Structure 1
Amino acid sequence: MSDVPPRRGPATAGSFGQLITHRRHQLGMTQGDLADQLCARSGRPTFTRHEISRYERGLRIPTAPLLPVIADSLDLPMAVLRRTAAADRKRRHAGNRR
C-alpha cells in the first residue's frame, strides 16, 4: 500500500479555490493569465490577478453568472463548478451561524 495520497481531480477537489488553483496549474496559467481570459471572455475589464487570488484563497466565491466564463476558461464542467461553489457557500453560511 502506498503512503502517497490520492490525486484530487475536478470531481474531488475540496473547495472552489482549490479546484481552480489546481486546474490553472494543470494548464500552466498564472493568475494574471486567467484574469486576462476572464476579461476577454466576459467583456468585463475589471478582473485582475488579485481577484483570482481572492477566489483561490476562499475569500470570495464568484457569482453564478461568472461561473460559465470560468468553466470555459479552465475547460471544466459547469456542474462541477456549480456544485463546488454551492458547497463553499453552504460552509460559509454554516460558519456564520455559529
Structure 2
Amino acid sequence: MVTERWRTTQVAQGNEPVGIMIRRVRSSLGYSQHKIAEQLADASGNSSLTREEVARWERGKRIPGPYWREWLSSVLDVPQREVEVAARVARVTRLTPTASARR
C-alpha cells in the first residue's frame, strides 16, 4: 500500500508522472507523437503501437506497461529506473483523489 508520506516524498523530489515525462523528452528531441510511435514500433518489432496510444500515455489516460516502458527507455534515451519511477508516480497520482473530488 502506498502511503501519504511516499506521495509527499515523490512530489518533493520533483518526480513526474510518466505521461509528462514522455511529452517533455519527446518535445526536447523535436519528435511528434507519430514519430515516437513509429520509433517504438521499429525498435520493438511490434507494429501494434499507434500515435493514439502515445497520446493516451501523455494525457495520463493509460500507463505504458513494462514491455513499452523498456522500449521507451531505449528510444527516449532515459534510464530505465527513471521510466519505472515515473510510471509509479503516475499510478499513485491516479489513485489520489483531486482536491475538487474531496469537497
TM-score class, shorter = 0.7 to 0.9
TM-score (structure 1 length as normaliser): 0.79
**Large movers: runs of 4+ above 4 Å:** none
Tell me how far apart the structure 1 counterparts of residues 14 and 95 of structure 2 sit (CA, whole Å): 21
CA-atom RMSD in angstroms: 1.7
> Of the two structures, which has the highest relative contact order with CA contacts closer than 8 Å and spacing of 6 or more?
2
Q: Which runs of 5+ in 1 are unaligned?
A: 1-10
Aligned residues: 86
Q: How far off is 1:93 after superposition?
A: 3.3
Tell me how far apart the structure 2 counterparts of residues 68 and 86 of structure 1 sit (CA, whole Å): 14
TM-score (structure 2 length as normaliser): 0.76
Q: Alignment partner for residue 54 of structure 1, among 47, 53, 56?
A: 56
Q: What's the counterpart of residue 14 of structure 1?
A: 16
Q: What do residues 9-55 of structure 1 show as CA deviations (whole Å, max 9, x unaligned)?
A: xx835221111101001101000000001101111111111111000
Q: Which runs of 5+ in 2 are unaligned?
A: 1-12
Superposed, which structure 2 residues align to 1:8-87 within 5 Å?
12-87=14-89
